[in-house]
Amino acid sequence: MVQKKSELVEAIEKVRGIILAGGTGSRLYPCTKVTNKHLLPVYNKPMIYYPLKTLIDAGIKEIMIISGREHAGDFANLLGAGEEFGVKFTYGVQDKAGGIAEALSLAESFANNEPIVEILGDNLFEDNITEYIESFKKQIQENNKMGARIFLKEVGLKAARRFGVAVVENGIVKFVEEKPQNPKSNLAMTGLCMFDSGIFDVIKTLKPSARGELEITDAIDYYVKRGNCYYDKLKGYWSDAGTFESLNRASNLVRKKEVSDDDHWADTNDFADNFKFPSKEDSKETIMEKISQLTKKQAEILDYVLAKEKNKS
């Protein structure tokens, strides 16, 4: 599928956003027994607010949210039509789990032959993606063909097994693989991708994986094999929030960025007022627990001070 250049230039004036917020949230059970995981709190806001903010801060005005059928109405109750956020929301329902690519395919009519930014609803990004969107527009315009852009973050090789990974060379993605046992790189593919509208035709050619799902990595691989999948490495933090550990980590990352001086030092003062140093009457376990609490608090204070210094510079 190739567009004429005049049509392509006109198309990239506008980019639409799609948030994929389906799934059963089984790794967060029993919290997800009564609600969608993307409505759980991350620090002081529902999880879905963070990918929304990523898109809205980049100037995207039309956003589709795709969720499972069980809690679809809860998203509409929380977010409304988008007026509160200065955007327009469209809602879609994935009747059953069929993979990220299958969920994305539901947005074909919404995309209206325009490029899209797809983001997973349980992913948090510190970076403002405005410059990345501009790079994506330029990429498509210069290539005059379908194109994709993925966003990578360096992780440990052990952690890379949990994600899709990419091998890159000279600004282009050369290889992608989903959750490899022996990763070929430590560049994890995050839950943020940009695609030309041709992505929907690509998805129609995919076959289900061993899990019985349409994999987004297979869709990305289509572009990789044709030499038009580019990438950016994220500068700020990135976290998913699909497990209890990652949910806690995501909350802590947001807290470090958003907590005010007054809140931080009020919490520290409360700790100082209530903390009791180890004494000879304490058991070994109690002594170790107190030392652990003190060490954790010291690390929090040091991280906070260093972050403040970094922001000043």
Residue 255 lies in a domain: no
Residue 48 lies in a domain: yes
Reply yes or no on whether the pLDDT at 133 is more than 80.
yes
The confidence score (pLDDT) of residue 263 equals 63
The confidence score (pLDDT) of residue 5 equals 41
pLDDT digits (tens, 9 = 90+) for 9-40: 444 568 999 999 988 788 888 988 888 999 99
Reply yes or no on whether the pLDDT at 297 is more than 70.
yes
Reply yes or no on whether the pLDDT at 47 is more than 90.
yes
The confidence score (pLDDT) of residue 8 equals 42
Q: How large is the average pLDDT for residues 126-155?
A: 88
Q: Are residues 56 and 187 in the same domain?
A: yes
Q: Are residues 54 and 169 in the same domain?
A: yes
Q: Are residues 192 and 291 in the same domain?
A: no
Q: Are residues 195 and 290 in the same domain?
A: no
Domain that holds residue 307: 260-312
Has this prediction a pTM greater than 0.85?
Answer: no
Number of domains in the chain: 2
Q: Are residues 189 and 291 in the same domain?
A: no
Q: Are residues 287 and 140 in the same domain?
A: no
pLDDT digits (tens, 9 = 90+) for 68-104: 888 889 999 999 999 999 999 999 998 887 889 999 9
The C-alpha atoms of residue 60 and residue 272 are separated, in whole angstroms, by 45
Percent of the chain topping pLDDT 90 = 47
Q: Are residues 93 and 27 in the same domain?
A: yes
The confidence score (pLDDT) of residue 132 equals 94
pLDDT digits (tens, 9 = 90+) for 235-289: 999 988 888 998 998 888 888 877 666 665 666 777 777 778 888 888 888 888 8
Q: Are residues 276 and 196 in the same domain?
A: no
Residue 253 lies in a domain: no
The confidence score (pLDDT) of residue 128 equals 95
Q: Are residues 225 and 301 in the same domain?
A: no
Look at strands 164-169 and 172-178 and give their pairing: antiparallel
Q: Are residues 75 and 32 in the same domain?
A: yes
